[in-house]
Chains A and B, each alone.
Chain A
Amino acid sequence: MPHDKTPPPAWDSPLAAGVVDRLKSEAGALLPILHALQETFGYIHADAIGLVAETLNLSRAEVHGVVSFYHDFRDKPPPPLVVKLCCAEACQACGGREAARTLLDHLGADWNQPAHGGAVVVEPVYCLGLCALAPAALIGDTLAAGFDGAELRATVDGAQ
């Protein structure tokens, strides 16, 4: 399926401030705010750290510590297509490693390394809850399961 999502807007302080404002009064607001910022812009811009810290009355170090602790949060805009490929045990048992190798070789890139001129990146994920149909992947917003290397490669090519 071709990717028809419009790219997220570039970093924009007033827009970000609005996102932060909407959520700041929740108990334990930091994670919901970071999720919302990443949802809006695709990543957490460096300027967001100060903005969030100031609003929630935290130190920059604290906010930075949280952003870097969680694997999901990005500090750079992601490629238009992110392929999250499950690397956990049920997928390993069903040829997940081999499928991953085929895809990465095809793209000529390693894990987490943008390929095709920054059009696509393959990232590891540890379980998508599709273990009974392993191996599994989330290709953009689309779930896929039970593929071999060639099928995965074709699906990813089709999604770009």
Chain B
Amino acid sequence: MTRLYLPADSFAAAKGADQIAAALQQACDARGLPIEIIRTGSRGMAWLEPLIEIDTAQGRIGYGPVSINDVNALLDAGLLAGGAHQLCVGAIDDLPWMRRQTRLIFARCGFIDPLDIESFRNAGGFSGLEQARAIGPQAVIDVITKSGLRGRGGAGFPAGVKWKGAADAKAETKYVVCNADEGDSGTFADRMLMEGDPFCLIEGMMIAAFAVGAATGYIYSRSEYPCANAVFARALDLAREAGLLGAEAFGAGKPFDIELRIGAGAYVCGEETALLESIEGKRGMVRAKPPLPVHEGLFGRPTIINNVLTLASAPWILVNGAKAYADIGCGRSLGTMPIQLSGVLKHTGLFEAPFGLTLGELINDIGGGSRTGRPIKAVQCGGPLGAYFPPALFDTPYDYEAFAARDGLIGHGGIVAFDDSADMAEQARFAMEFCAIESCGKCTPCRIGSVRGQEVIDRICAGENTEMNLAVLTDLCQTMKLGSLCALGGFTPYPVLSALRHFPQDFVASRKLESAL
């Protein structure tokens, strides 16, 4: 029996992996070759999906991107023995993309069957939770604090401080909420982990719940992620069947369970207080702070809310210690970040690395530069609320503070590369449009300002009173920055103003005219 691995992840699925799995099984049956296909998560090398892997004495050998028409030729070439073929990429672990990473969160993703608890355990799963239970809640919070782990959802708030706040709050009922509403364009790490190693996230949520004393956890995912939601729901069922979740999750009389909730297509519900409102069954309106969720969160109870990647970092930290984690990274940005590369790059996908690489290294070395034959013009970092960086700023180190110093955002780790066919005025306009579509409506500068912003950009591009309208746009951005309750209204000015600052020529009417001719 030869064992083959083929992702069931959304990347691979979008490229026909399910049909390939069926064709492969059929072809091998016809040839009398006994095989077992294990459907895994993705390794994160999206450009190679669907990527078939095969166990050999040299480790796992990969073939990709495979199309359904390649199946017979691959078998003819001796796929099952790791035979030579033009789609063969060699040993997965030797690929530069893999070798250059420090995979702490994503160590198992793409490697194991995501829904096999035994494989998870054999690959080190649940040892972080065991360690947590051995040292007790107080010590867990201490380790997380000393590790320097910061929130990976966008704001970079120290996780230990949040956990301590909830642990210290006096209340019968507390909640742990996992923010899996991954709405930022250019990001897919939460999705990949939920599809590729869901028990890692369950373990992280359990550690957090154990530390703060919560008996109930919620994970809030998005309707745009049907595959991730199905895998995660199944993982929760399996964990319950195995007694890992439920009445005795943390020992006799110490219950913990997790409920999966699904959003309904509202970007703003990724904002933590809007997310809590949404779980409570209300419109996703942002709440004013204080009170902080750690004091008065879900259903008015002390609640920690963390991103998927924040929680999924906890198991490694518990096993390896705070110092080992804090030794990775740079400045006050410690540990690893699953960086998500997309856009016109040759190599796109997930690359988990210590903070500190420069943007240029990420774009040109890791991402391999442009694949379109046209030069990179700009990259947007940190999702729709993040600034556009021109190549002149590619020396910026990937680090929360270094990015902030250049009016940029690490956010949830997305980097989207545009080549010189991009019209940055159109991108600026879209930032305003997106804000208008997704605004929760609570603040006037966000709700109305974003609509005005689109009109003003249109006028600038049409050459109407350019000077005056540029001043209006700058003013409007200032008002949005100062007068918005959350980062949707408050940060939309960053992509707009960075586009204007670095690419003023794109806002000039005459150039538009020229390119239209």
By a beta-carbon cutoff of 8 Å, the part of chain A in contact with chain B is 27-32, 34-35, 56, 65-66, 69-73, 84, 88-94, 125-134, 136, 138, 141, 143-146
Contact = CB atoms under 8 A, between A and B. Distances in A.
Contacts of B223: 35, 72
A155 to B, nearest CB: 11
A38 B226 CA distance: 15
B264 A34 contact: yes
Interface-central residue, A92, A132, A141, by most chain B CB under 10 Å:
A132
Contacts of A35: 223, 262, 264
B314 interface: no
B427 A89 contact: yes
Contact of B348 (A88, A91, A132): A132
A146 B151 CA distance: 31
Contact of A133 (B15, B418, B419): B15
Nearest to B227: A143
Interface string B332-370: 000000001111100011100000000000000000000
A129 B418 CA distance: 18
B380 interface: yes
Given A88-B384, A132-B46, A31 B340 contact: no
Contacts of A71: 264-266
Contacts of B418: 93
Interface stretch (B159-167, B274-282, B289-297): B274-282
Given A35-B262, A72-B265, A130 B188 contact: yes
Contacts of A144: 14
Contacts of B427: 89, 92
A128 B281 CA distance: 24
Contacts of A125: 224, 265
Given A90-B342, A129-B224, A131-B342, A143 B265 contact: no
Contact of A32 (B185, B261, B417): B261
A134 B224 CA distance: 15
Contacts of A127: 182-187, 224
Contacts of B284: 69-70
B283 interface: yes
A128 B280 CA distance: 25
Contacts of B416: 89-90, 93, 131
B281 to A, nearest CB: 3
A70 B265 contact: yes
A31 B14 contact: no
Nearest to A70: B264
Interface of B: 10-11, 13-15, 46-47, 49, 182-188, 191-192, 223-228, 261-267, 278-284, 299, 340-344, 348-350, 380, 384, 414, 416-419, 422, 427, 430, 434, 437-438
Contacts of B47: 132-133
Given A72-B265, A133-B15, A143-B13, A89 B186 contact: yes
Contacts of A32: 261
Nearest to B182: A129
B191 A129 contact: yes
A90 B343 contact: yes
A146 B187 contact: no
A39 B182 CA distance: 22
Interface-central residue, B185, B261, B349, by most chain A CB under 10 Å:
B185
Contacts of B15: 133, 145-146
Given A65-B283, A131-B416, A94 B343 contact: yes
Given A93-B416, A144-B14, A66 B283 contact: yes
30 contacts: A28-B279, A31-B262, A35-B264, A69-B266, A69-B284, A71-B265, A73-B264, A84-B224, A89-B380, A92-B422, A93-B343, A93-B418, A94-B343, A94-B344, A126-B185, A127-B186, A128-B10, A129-B188, A129-B191, A129-B192, A130-B10, A130-B188, A131-B343, A132-B46, A132-B340, A134-B342, A136-B14, A138-B224, A138-B226, A143-B10
A94 B345 CA distance: 10
A143 to B, nearest CB: 4
A93 B422 contact: yes
Closest 3 A/B residue pairs (Cβ): A30-B281, A88-B185, A70-B264
A141 B299 contact: no
A130 B430 contact: no
Contacts of B340: 131-132
A69 B440 CA distance: 8
B265 to A, nearest CB: 4
Given A28-B261, A70-B283, A131-B342, 18 more contacts: A29-B281, A31-B263, A31-B264, A66-B282, A71-B266, A88-B384, A89-B185, A89-B416, A90-B185, A91-B185, A93-B422, A126-B438, A128-B225, A131-B187, A132-B46, A132-B341, A132-B349, A138-B224
B179 to A, nearest CB: 15
B344 A131 contact: no
A44 to B, nearest CB: 11
Nearest to B267: A126
Contact of B11 (A73, A91, A132): A132
Nearest to A145: B14
A92 to B, nearest CB: 7
A66 B285 CA distance: 10
A94 B344 CA distance: 6
A145 B283 CA distance: 32
A136 B185 CA distance: 12
Contacts of A143: 10, 13-14, 227
